[in-house]
């Protein structure tokens, strides 16, 4: 059993969780669940980024303390992740004492390496990004990511990190380990950035009191990104003795807009401190509406609680990973188009294809064989199952989650076609073809059981229900799958796995 340490970006405490947060957390959860199925010892961490100027300003505007504000937001995020069955092992918050200890220990190691120095910063600062901006990064004097926010000219005495000293080492690392930055489009962006040269960056702020105190320097707090990135090591006990049992991370899952921080600044910090780099950083794309990020009004229409209530948490998880490729953006023309596609995918894939297949197979096995299932093998459907299983494992190990999901559903499509071609109801009327009927029913049961296991990372509750409906007990690991198939259906009433959704016509 190998250790698999998986993280997501920690979410910034400046608003409620939205569909972009959900896409990232569900995708990472699918990866975590797949690796558990594969037999790995998974440690999965998510959390909250709770310091910085923007949080302090928002708290002041609401007439409350920053800690009170972030406590409330953290509770909202955790509640949504619970509804979506996110199976994280830890929830790190940057206001926790264990995080302060880790950040200050890391800063001291970087300073001891000679990579921190005092200087004066003069330039632009985007509170939306919580990042300093070069003039070349602005568009019409605005941050391209937060064009509605005022860009602020800032002058202050800070501690600086010698990021420029790590350009060549980072280029060498990516050349030797091209898998470090994925997918390929993200890697090409980082290579272009590095080839253009790096500038030193602020490691402290002298006018932002809401943050981790900069060690041994009164009046300074650690710059919010220098504070946030070490959450990946504070969550596993850095600088304590147990830290090395889990680090380095096998995978950081992040949004594509913060690849520079995770693929340049963070690895440079680790190199300076003499720590290993994570194996892979995966920068996923965005959910877009009408060509851009969600507006506030669109985000309100796509409220997460309402989306989960629409067809249930597993259906929402399925839709996100079925419709939004894990390696690029997905643009929906409008909110209405998003909801229409959600409804259509729910009915076609889940209610019709998967749910109906389960109902038909269970009904025929009970009617024709009293629920008994013989060992499978030797049909065209068995061959299709074997091919789909191989494709699924290959896709999932390469983090192509949308392709892995499609491979699992290939079995469902093949099984429905198999019923149409074999016509079990006709076989049941011909005693001489009893063995063929046994083989057909066994192949269908195997197809559904295999599908339940492969879909477990995507729709964990419904997959478990499928497995139980087929007479299984504990869900098997991938390696056990060929040897742990159900042999008899349980004697109980069956509920509909995914009831069809009838949408009321829109007025006007």
Which residues belong to the active site?
18, 21, 126, 129, 143, 146, 293, 296
Q: Look up residue 432 and give its two tokens.
A: 């001489």
DSSP class of residue 90 equals E
* Burial letters 300-311, b for 16+ CB under 10 A, else e: ebbebeebbebb
Alpha-carbon distance 93 to 106, whole Å? 17
Query: How far is 505 from 205, CA to CA, in rounded Å?
Result: 55
CA separation for the pair 502, 315 (Å, rounded): 15
Helix (H) or strand (E) holding 222: strand 221-222
Burial class (CB in 10 A: 0-12, 13-18, 19+), 127: buried
Collect all residues with Cβ–Cβ distance below 8 Å to 64 and sequence separation of at least 6.
none
Rounded to a whole number of angstroms, the CA Rg of the chain reads 26
Dist. CA 324–CA 330, nearest whole Å = 5
Beta bridge partners of 160: 117, 202
Distance CA 34, CA 43 (A): 13
End-to-end CA distance of the chain: 59
Rounded distance between C-alpha atoms, residue 395 and residue 406, angstroms: 10
Element (H, E) at 331: strand 330-332
Pair 32, 7: CB distance under 8 Å: no
Spatial separation of the C-alpha atoms in residues 464 and 474, rounded to whole Å: 9
Report in angstroms the alpha-carbon separations of 446 from 76, 230, 359, 440, 487: 41, 45, 14, 10, 10
Contact 263/252 with Cβ under 8 angstroms?
no
For residues 458 and 397, is the Cβ–Cβ distance under 8 A? no
State how far Cα 495 lies from the chain centre. Answer: 30
| DSSP three-state, residue 108 | helix
| Whether 320 contacts 177, CB under 8 Å | no
Burial label, 495 (beta-carbon count in 10 A; 0-12, 13-18, 19+): exposed
Q: Which two tokens stand for residue 487?
A: 């042999």
């Amino acid at each position: 059993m190998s250790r698999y340490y998986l993280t997501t970006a920690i979410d910034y405490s400046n608003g409620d969780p939205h569909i972009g947060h959900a896409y990232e957390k569900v995708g990472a959860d699918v990866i975590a669940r797949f690796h558990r199925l594969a037999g790995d010892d998974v440690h999965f961490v998510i959390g909250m980024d709770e310091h910085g100027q923007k949080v302090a300003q928002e708290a002041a505007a609401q007439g409350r303390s920053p800690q009170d504000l972030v406590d409330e937001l953290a509770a909202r995020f955790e509640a949504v992740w619970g509804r979506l069955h996110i199976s994280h092992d830890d929830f790190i918050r940057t206001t926790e004492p264990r995080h302060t200890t880790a950040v200050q220990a890391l800063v001291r190691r970087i300073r001891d390496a000679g990579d921190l120095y005092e200087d004066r910063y003069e330039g632009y600062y985007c509170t939306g990004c919580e990042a300093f901006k070069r003039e070349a990064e602005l568009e019409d004097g605005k941050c391209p990511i937060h064009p509605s926010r005022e860009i602020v000219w800032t002058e202050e005495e800070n501690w600086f990190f010698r990021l420029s000293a790590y350009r060549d080492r980072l280029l060498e690392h990516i050349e030797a380990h091209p898998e470090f930055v994925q997918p390929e489009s993200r890697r090409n962006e980082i290579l272009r950035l590095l080839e253009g040269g790096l500038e030193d960056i602020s490691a402290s702020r002298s006018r932002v009191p809401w943050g981790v105190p900069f060690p041994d320097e009164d009046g300074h707090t650690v710059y919010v990104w220098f504070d946030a990135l070490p959450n990946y090591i504070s969550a596993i006990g850095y600088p304590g003795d147990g830290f090395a049992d889990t680090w380095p991370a096998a995978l950081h899952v992040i949004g594509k807009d913060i690849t520079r921080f995770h693929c340049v600044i963070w690895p440079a910090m680790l190199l300076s401190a003499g720590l290993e780099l994570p194996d892979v950083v995966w920068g996923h794309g965005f959910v877009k509406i009408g060509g851009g990020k969600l507006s506030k009004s669109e985000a309100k229409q796509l409220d997460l609680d309402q989306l989960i209530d629409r067809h249930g948490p597993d259906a929402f998880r399925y839709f996100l990973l079925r419709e939004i490729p894990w390696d690029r953006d997905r643009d929906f023309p409008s909110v209405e188009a998003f909801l229409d596609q959600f409804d259509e995918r729910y009915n076609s894939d889940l209610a019709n294809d998967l749910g109906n297949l389960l109902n038909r197979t269970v009904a025929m096995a009970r009617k024709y064989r009293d629920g008994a299932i013989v060992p499978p093998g030797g049909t065209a459907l068995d061959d299709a199952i074997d091919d789909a299983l191989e494709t699924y494992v290959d896709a999932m190990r390469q983090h192509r989650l949308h392709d892995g999901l499609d491979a699992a559903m290939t079995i469902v499509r093949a099984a429905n076609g198999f019923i149409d071609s074999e016509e079990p109801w006709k076989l049941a009327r011909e005693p001489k073809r009893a063995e063929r009927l046994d083989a057909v029913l066994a192949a269908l049961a195997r197809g559904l059981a295999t599908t339940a296991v492969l879909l477990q990372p995507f729709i964990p509750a419904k997959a478990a229900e499928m497995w139980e409906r087929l007479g299984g007990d504990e869900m098997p690991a991938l390696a056990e799958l060929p040897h742990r198939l159900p042999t008899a259906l349980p004697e109980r009433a069956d509920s509909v796995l995914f009831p069809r959704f009838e949408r009321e016509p829109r007025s006007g």
